Structure formats: structure tokens, C-alpha cells
Structure 1
Amino acid sequence: MWQSFVCAMVAAVTLQALNPFRTGNIVLYEVKYTRGWHGFEVVPFIILGILGGFYGTFLIRLNMKVAKWRRSRNASRPILEVVAVAFLSALINFPNIFMRAQNTELVHFLFAECGPGAEDQFGLCNKAGASLGIIALLLAAAVLAFFLASITFGLDVPAGIILPSVAVGALYGRALGIAFKMWQEAFPKAFLFNTCEPDIPCVTPGVYAIVGAASALGGATRMTVSIVVIMFELTGALTYVIPIMIAVMLAKWCGDIFGKRGIYESWIQLNEYPFLDHRDDTTPPDVLSHKVMTTIDDLTVIVAVGHTIGSLQTLLANTPYRGFPVVTETSNPILLGYISRNELSFALKYSAPATNRNMSGDTQVFFAHQPFADPSDTFDLRPWMDQTPMTLNSHTSFLVTLRMFQRLGLRYVLFSNKGILQGLLTKKDMWSLLSGAELREQENIAGNVFRQRNTAEEVGLLEGDEGDSLASPIERRQSL
């Protein structure tokens, strides 16, 4: 804790000394508001939260459709695609004054409070700034930026979604703030505005821009606490913690109605990365692990004795698996350990005994203690083998196995019964099972038995009419 404090202090002092933003501030969008917020403004803050949820939902769905369309094309021309999108962006951005500037500069002026001496590049603080024309330009810029963000996120260029979402949220937030300010100035004696002091501006549109930016970011990423902290770090607006929290929570709740995944989780699912999250909304299949594991009959195992360097090199060349269980013998496969592909390859190539560096392919190798073996004529691979791999009983429930993968970050689990190897489950198998369960929940298909599909990402699901038959373990091993 002390080291973290010292590092943070040094970083803050260095940032203040270098002044990279040329503003004298240590945060990018630091704002200083002279006025607080009123209770009646909770209503527009709620509206901004709901808008953020809808923004995130539509952004994710449109972006996923664009990404799937890109992958469905027969020919990929990334350079041409980037040039075309850049040209299209220039054509769309130029007519609108709010889209010509860089996102960082735009967000800075949208967050700023109007006051004497305040810089006003976009004319938001003059009398013409509070008009329907400005509101229309802001909303048009938000809509166009939404479509551009949906298209550009996922291109073969380094680009993110945080700053575009902040800019979109700030645009529609500032528009709502200006509209609310116009309403308050048109009816200053209305019951809703009784708490406003006379001759003092009551509504600050810049606050609405910050709240809108937080809501858009929360709707796109489905994060809560992290978004609030990020907004504090970017702006330093600690006074408005409650409005930001209201908008972020409502954005997440509204977005979760249409889908639990944020933009990053959606891309993880699209790329079929075996990420096992801790969400409780997907019910795992209520089966035992031996119903879904790859059985010993379909595993490629290594026996403790009887192999040579040449046979192991042939095994590595002919199989794509990332690791191999090591057993005593195939007729009585007592589990001795597990050796990964990388460890085995490195050991065979670089780790020959010092007494005999030039071993031939006929050199005997072993994974168990051989008291009469000659070290000059044999190769002991026990140091390269994991002799205590993660092992569970084959009758362990699938839920317990899933929790082990999630909490320990495992890549595989071996199943045994009284020391005899029964099978194996990998992280990819677990992800395939959960993806199939979630798909059937979304389709509202009744029944507890899974049917095997032909798609590679669903290999490992149960099949059959009796509920106790297995999907082809050979196909499942192809996806490991």
C-alpha cells in the first residue's frame, strides 16, 4: 500500500511539472463548476441514464452486425476499408461544426461551464448558444458519431470505444442541458424551479454533458464503479457523484434488459475466446463431469516408459494438442502427471543431459523412476512434467468443476477414479457448454438434454435421446 501511494504521488508531481495538456491541470478534462445541482434535475439525469442504456444496446448490436459482415466476405482488403471509412468520416464530419474538432477538444468544451472569460470555440456560451439550432446540431452530431463509432470499432487500426462514447454522451447530454436551461429561463416562476435563486444561472449544461458521457460509457461497457471512477479522474467533478452514479446505474439496468454483455464481452464471444465470467444469469447444465468430459479412450496419452525421442517428436508433429496426460500404461492408466506441449518440445530440443548432448532419435525417454537406467543412454523427462496436476473425481458435478475453472484460472482439469485416469476437460470445453446453455435459454427451448450442433464452438455439448450419451470426444479434442 505504501509503495502504491509513493508511486501515485510521484506520478502526480511529474504530471504537474510536465504539464502535457498545457492547461496547468493534471487531468484531461478538469472542470470547475461554481454552482451545484438541484433536486428537480434528477429527472433529466434519469433521462440521460436511459438514453445511455439505449445507446449502448444499439451500438453493440450494430457493431456486431458490421463485424459479422466483415468476416463473411470472401476477400479482405483492410487498407482499402480503412481508407474508405476515413473518407466517409471526413465527408460526414465537415458540415457539422461539432464534428470537425478532435474528440478530446470537443469533450473539453462540452464539459466546460459558461462564465466570464471562458473560452467558447463552438459558441455554446453566447446568447445564440441556447437555441433550437444548436440543440439540433448537437443531436445530429451525436447520431452521426454513433453510426461512425459502430462502423469504425473493429477496423484493422488501433482504436477504442471509450472516447467516442464519451463524446456521443457529452453531445446529447449538452443538448438536453441546453433544452432544460431554455425551459427554466422561459418559465422561471414555475413550481419546478422554486429552488432556483433569482439573477443566478440555475441550470449548468456542462453538468449534463458529464452525466451524459458517463451514461453512454456505462451503456456501452456495462460497467458501473469503474465508469464513475474514470469520470472522476477525467474531470475531477466530485460534486456531481450522485448524478453520475444515477446515470451509470440506469444505463446499465436499461441496457441489461436487451442483453447482459457489454461491447468487450460481445467481442470476446464473437472471437470465441474461452472466457469464463462470473455472471449468475446463465444456468450451467446440471450434470456430472464424466458426462461431458473427453474420455480416456479418445485422449492422446503418453506412457511412462517405452517412448524414444523420435517417437515423441513424431507425436508432436502429428497432433495439435497443447498437452498430454502421462500414465503408467494404457491397459491400467494410472495418472502420473501432465506435460504441456511447450515443455515437451523445449525439453527434447534443448535439455539433453550434459554428458550426451547429441542424442539420437532412438534414445529411450521415461517419465517414471528407473533405478537401472543409464543416464548416458536415456533421457529423464520427469523434471519437465507436472507431477501434481489439478485432478478431480470423475463424478464431480459440472458446477463444481466450473467454479474451479473460474476461481483458479485453470486451463484444464484431469478426472480420475482411485488414481486411474478417466478423462479431461479444458477451458474451451467449459466455454462451449456454457455458450450452448445460454443459447438455449435465449431461444426458450425446454428440456435438460443438449443436442450436439455442427458448429465448432458448440463441440462438447451433450447429445442423444436418453440424456446420458456424449458428444463425440474426438470432435471436442479438435477444438482444444
Structure 2
Amino acid sequence: MGTDFWKRSRSARSSGVAAAFRAPVGGVLFALEEVTSWWRSHLMWRVFFTSAVVAVVVRSAMNWCNSGKCGHFGAGGFIIWDISGGQEDYSYQELLPVAIIGVIGGLLGALFNQLTLYITKWRRTYLHKKGKRVQIFEACLISLITSTVSFVLPLLRKCSPCPELETSSGIQCPHPPGTDGNFVNFYCSKDNEYNDLATIFFNSQDDAIRNLFSAKTFHEYSAQSLITFLVMFYSLAVVTFGTAVPAGQFVPGIMIGSTYGRLVGMSVVKFYKKLNVDEGTYALLGAASFLGGSMRMTVSLCVIMVEITNNLQLLPLIMLVLLISKAVGDFFNEGLYEEQARLKGIPLLDSRPKQVMRNMNAKDACKNQKVVCLPRVSRVVDIVSVLQSNKHNGFPIVERGQNGESLVIGLILRSHLLVLLQSKVDFQNTPFPCGPGILNRHNFSDFVKPASSKGKSIDDIHLTDDELGLYLDLAPFLNPSPYIVPEDMSLAKVYNLFRQLGLRHIFVVPRPSRVVGLITRKDLLLEEDGNTATTELQSTSVRAYLNGKTAGGSAHLERPLLDSLMIGGVNT
């Protein structure tokens, strides 16, 4: 169906990541790895095209804003946190602390997912039932608590003397008022002092992360300040996630990970004094480990972290911490997005079926369901009643066979029924199949769901009593060849069909059926003849069929694919 061409959700997500983090390739991989359970190869060029366009537009806008007319937007280019001047090599002795960072990221990420899951359930049980005003009040209360804590905690910290900085670095300690950067003077008694905790709090998250990632900034932050910020920011991130504010988890996750990563880096600097170890490098690894432990992405996160930091030399270490953090996190629960999707009832399929499905068959999954069918020629009032009584998205269309059994002839979607009911042009007075030419009354675009809307609802359609008494022939609008499985097929195989083919419905039919033929892979192969510019089919049967049509042979009468099968169940 052509509606897939207008479903831009994957492209939108990839372009959003490409624009927010200046990571076009990472955005493509993010759409491939995280936001979909089914991927078609021709979607790749669409996602890549949108990410490439976003990359060019953002780059052009930044070049135009370099004059200073756009404020902070024009600074930085595509690389947000450039740490290419930091640690360029690593020793095998650093693999142990790097592995520790991965374990910490997996533990904290799994704990974060579990806590946010509990709080989200509590919100849905108590707060959301009390109306939107309570949700707005909750967001305002959390904002007030965050502002108060961010102001009070730096007051409790003592100021530190400014370190000796090279003149060529361009860094001032403390930095001038009204600017962002390292070394914030927050109620310090002397002019040459700074508050390391205020340096993290009183900067934008972008600048705070840049400060934590910055290279050759030894002893800029104390361990006490980093621990204080980690506990506070982690707790507030857990509480804030899921509130009625447009906020994400990517940048806060980088903040959390870079904080404990820098803590580990400070310990490594003290323990391995002879090695060229940089604290900013471990902050980067910590950020990657927490994102891997929480979101459970590997390839896309690895590419995104490399793109936004412009440091390809740390790629092996980033890969290592991502693998360890994901393995540790998977031991406790699922990823953040998977947990939230399951909580909201979104049918997002995992990569593998559950073990219990291997001992079940397709009939077990639908034996408690009542199949809602529609006859080929249905009364309008019956169609409206079916749509109002359930929320199924697909309905089998049946006809009476010669022996009186109900034979399924196809599948019709709920959205298509709503289009037919709203147009009313196909209503007829007699309960008999319609003649040819009925499809000319509709355009293909009539059945395309707009990408920016949720589609039609049965409540939006108003029919008179006379119209409800008319009939509607559904045969011209159904799908005559839906996917079917035998009732004794393993449920694990059915699960894989849904995931690999991107299905929404599958018919479950009895096992006994007549075999028409057998198609092999060779029957579908085509060979291009470069000299004659003709196509040669490998399969002799298909070639014979085409030759018969060319010679004027009569085509077979069109038959529904499931004409000889009784319906046993349908997944809606």
C-alpha cells in the first residue's frame, strides 16, 4: 500500500538526532537500531536523505550565524564537544578501569530504567486521573525544586583558587560575567577563585558537558563536588522523566555518565601516574556507558559519540564500554524506550520471541478471541455496529460456500471502511455484488492516511436512517491475499513473521488444505540479457506462463487466494 511512502516517523527521528547532535550518520543508525522493530532496505535512502538535508541546512545556518547575529547557535559547527586535543592513546593497563566504567554504566542505567518505570506507573495511577492541572503543577513544583537545589548546593561549597592557565588557551579564571565556560565565580571572596560545583550548575547542559569533557583540566573539579552533582542530578533526572514537559533523556544521560566517568578518571590519574591519562577521556567513556546501560544501543551510540566529540581514536574504548554496559543492563531489565513503550501499550516487538512461545502454536494465541467477520455484501448499519463495538483494525471478509461454510475471501482495514462510509458513493439498494467500474469512483489518495493526523473515527461519520438501511459491496476494496498460517504453526515462527515482514494481521486457518504448487527461490530469479535488453526468467513454469499470455492465451479468472480455506482466527 502506498501509505508507507508517507510514513515519515523514522525519517523524522533520524533527522532530529542529526540536527540536535550534528550527527547525520548516527541519526540514520539511530532510526535503524532503536526506533523500529521492522526495517525495509528502501527505507534506508529516505532516512539517509533526510539526515543529509538536515546536515546541510544546519551547517549553512551555522555559517550564516558565525557573524554573531544568532547568539550561541552559530558556534561549534557539527562538533559540539570537541576533545580531539586530549588523550590520543591508551594503554592496556587502562582496560580495567574502562571495564569498571562499563559496569557502573550498566548498573546505573538499569536502576534508572526501573525507577522511571515505577514513577511513570505511579503518575498514571494517581496524577493523570486528576486532570492536566495537576500535571502542570507537578512540572512547576519539580522546576522549583531543581532551581532551589541548584542555587543552594553551590553555596555550601568552598571556592578554590584558580589554576595556572596558559595564555594561549584563551580560558579565563574566573570567566567574565554574562558568559559561559569554565571557572564560575559564585559568591567567592577573592577575584582569583572559582566554585567548581557552580561551574557545572550555572552553565547550560551543553557547556557543562563540554567542561567535563575538556582535556588537560586536571583538578578543576573536586571529587566531593562531582559526587554531590551526580546524586542530585541523577535523582532529579529520574523524577523529571515523564513529566508534562518536552524533555528528552539523551543529554541528561550524557551529563550523568560524564560525571561519574570523570570521577573514575581522577582515580586513574592518581593510580597510573606514569601514564598519559586524561580525565576528560574518561568522562566521554562514562557518558557512553550510561547511555548504553539505559538505552541499550550500541552501533548508533558509538557513531553518535564519535561524531559529536570528533575523536575517532577512542572508538575501541567506546565500543568496549558500550558492550559491557549493555550486557550488564540486559541482565536486570530492558532498555528505557522498550520499557516505556510496553507501559504505554505500544506493540513494539523485541528482537527475539519469548521462550514460552516455542511451546505454543498459533491457535493457542487466538483461541480466546472472537473473530469479527463481515459478509461480502454487508448492510451499512451492520458495518457501523461492528466498528462501534470493537477497536480491531482489520476484518475478514467471508462468503458462503456451496456447502454452507463461511469461506474467507480477503481482509479489509478499518480505515478503508471509514472512507467508504464517509464517501457514501458505494451504497446500494440491493444485497447483490456490484458490477465492474466501481473503483473509478475513488482516487487512490482517498485511502491514504495523512501523516500529520490520526485518521478518521467512526464518531466523525454521520449517517441517516435511510443510509443505514442500504448495502455495501466490500469485495472491490479488500485485500484478496492476506498472510495466512496454519493453526499448528509454532508461535515463535509467527512472531518472527510479524517482525521480519512488518505485519499487522495474520489469518490462522486449519491445517488440511489442497496444495496448488511449490515456489522455490529460483522461480523468483530474473536474468538481464544485456544484448537484447530483455528479461529471461529462470523458472520454466513462469516463462511458460508469460509465453502463453504473449501468444494470446486466456488469463485465468481472478480468484481470491483463500477461496478454499475456512477461517479459524485472525490477529487484530
Q: Secondary structure at the match of 1:335?
A: strand
Code of the residue aligned with 1:302 in structure 2: it is: L
How far apart are the structure 2 equivalents of 1:212 and 1:329? 65
Asked if the contact 1:309/1:365 (under 8 Å) is kept, the reply is no
1:421 aligns with 2:421: no
Q: What is aligned with 1:136?
A: 224
Post-superposition Cα deviations, 1:214-249, rounded to whole Å, max 9, x if no partner, equal: 111111111111111110111111111122112111
User: Gapped runs of 5+ residues in structure 2?
Assistant: 1-44, 67-71, 155-197, 442-469, 514-563
Match of 2:379 in 1: 308
Query: In the alignment, what sits opposite 2:60?
Result: 14
Provide the identity percentage: 25
Where in structure 2 are the equivalents of 1:132-211 lying within 5 Å?
Answer: 134-184=222-272, 188=273, 193=274, 196=275, 202-211=276-285
Cα shift readout 1:167-205 (whole Å, capped 9, x = no counterpart): 011111112222332344xxx4xxxx3xx4xxxxx2211
> 2:54, 2:142 → 1: CA distance?
40
Structure 1 residues 390 and 280, CA, compared in 2 at 3 Å: closer, same or farther? Answer: closer
Q: Does 1:342 align with 2:415?
A: yes
* Pair 1:400 & 2:493 matched: yes
Q: Compared with structure 1, are the counterparts of its residues 272 and 319 closer, same or farther at alpha carbon in structure 2 (3 Å cutoff)?
A: closer
Note the 1:324-363 alignment, pairs <5 A.
Answer: 324-329=395-400, 331-353=404-426, 363=429
Q: CA offset at residue 66 of structure 1? A: 0.9
Letter in 2 for 1:86: S
Residue equivalent to 1:292? 365
Tell me, in whole angstroms, the C-alpha distance in 1 between the residues paired with 2:414 and 2:292.
41
The question of 1:51 aligning with 2:125 is answered no
TM-score by length of 2: 0.62
Match of 1:252 among 326, 334, 345: 326
CA shift for structure 1 position 161: 1.0
8 Å CA contact retained: 1:135, 1:179: no
Distance 1:315 1:348 in 2: 13
Seen in structure 2, the aligned counterparts of structure 1 residues 378 and 301 have a Cα distance that, compared at 3 Å, is closer
Aligned residue-pair number? 386
Q: Which amino acid aligns with 2:233?
A: A
**Mapped partners of 1:255, 1:23: distance in 2:** 36
Give the aligned partner of residue 436 of structure 1: none
User: In 2, are the aligned partners of 1:309 and 1:363 still within 8 Å (CA)?
Assistant: no
Secondary structure at the residue paired with 1:421?
coil
Looking at structure 2, the residues matched to 308 and 35 of structure 1 have their Cα atoms a distance apart, in angstroms, of: 74
Gaps of 5+ in 1: 115-123, 197-201, 354-358, 427-479
Distance 1:35 1:292, change over 3 A: closer
Is structure 2 residue 406 aligned with structure 1 residue 317?
A: no
Distance (Å, rounded) in 2 between the aligned partners of 1:382 and 1:173: 63
Contact 1:294 1:425 in 2 (8 A): no
CA shift, 1:276, in A, is 1.3
Give the 3 Å change call, closer, same or farther, for CA 150–370 of structure 1 in structure 2: same
Asked if residue 387 in structure 1 is aligned to residue 453 in structure 2, the reply is no
Q: Secondary structure of 1:292's match?
A: helix
Structure 1 residue matching 2:83: 3-state secondary structure: coil
Give the C-alpha shift of residue 34 in structure 1. 4.8
Q: Is the 8 A contact 1:31 1:113 kept in 2?
A: yes
1:61-100 pair list within 5 angstroms: 61-73=114-126, 75-76=130-131, 77-94=134-151, 95-96=153-154, 97=198, 98-100=200-202
The residue number in structure 1 matching 2:302 is 228
